[in-house]
Structure formats: structure tokens, C-alpha cells
Amino acid sequence: MPWYDAGIDGTLVLIAIWVIPRTPNSPTTGRLGPPNAMGISVEVLQAAFIGLTAAVIAYEMRMKRLDKKTAIDAA
């Protein structure tokens, strides 16, 4: 589980690093950086990674609950 959390956190940082220079009056450069097609596609895939990782975490948590319930029912 900690690796999933680290992956999501790191990806969110990468998205922030991409978004911040592309905002008006950017604190880093003061200029608006132009987005390109490749950059946008990478960010979309990073967002998909976050969604899939969150789904894996939810699935694993559900399976752990079901395993505990099955163990209790079997006893």
C-alpha cells in the first residue's frame, strides 16, 4: 500500500510541475507557457494512472474486508 501512495503522490507532483508554468502570471517565470499535444497526452495518461491506482487500492481494501468476513464466517 505505501508504494501505491508514493506513486500517486509522485504523479500528482509531476502534474503540478507541468501545470504551474502554464498558468497566467506563473510564479516561476511570470509568463504563460504554451501546452503542446505531447505534454497534454502525458498528463492525461498520468491522470489515468492515478485513477487506476486508486481503483487497485479500493479493490485490495475490499478483498481484505471480504477475507476477514470469510474467516469469521468459517469459524
Q: What is the pLDDT along the chain (75 residues), one digit of tens a residue?
A: 789 999 999 999 999 988 888 888 777 777 777 788 998 999 999 999 999 999 999 999 888 887 776 766 655
Q: What's the total number of domains in the chain? A: 1
Contact (Cβ atoms closer than 8 angstroms) between residue 59 and residue 51: no
Q: Could you give the C-alpha distances from 4 to 1, 9, 11, 46, 60, in angstroms and in order? A: 5, 9, 11, 14, 11
The predicted model scores a pTM of 0.76
pLDDT at 34: 79
Give the residue numbers spanning the domain of 15. 2-74
pLDDT at 24: 80
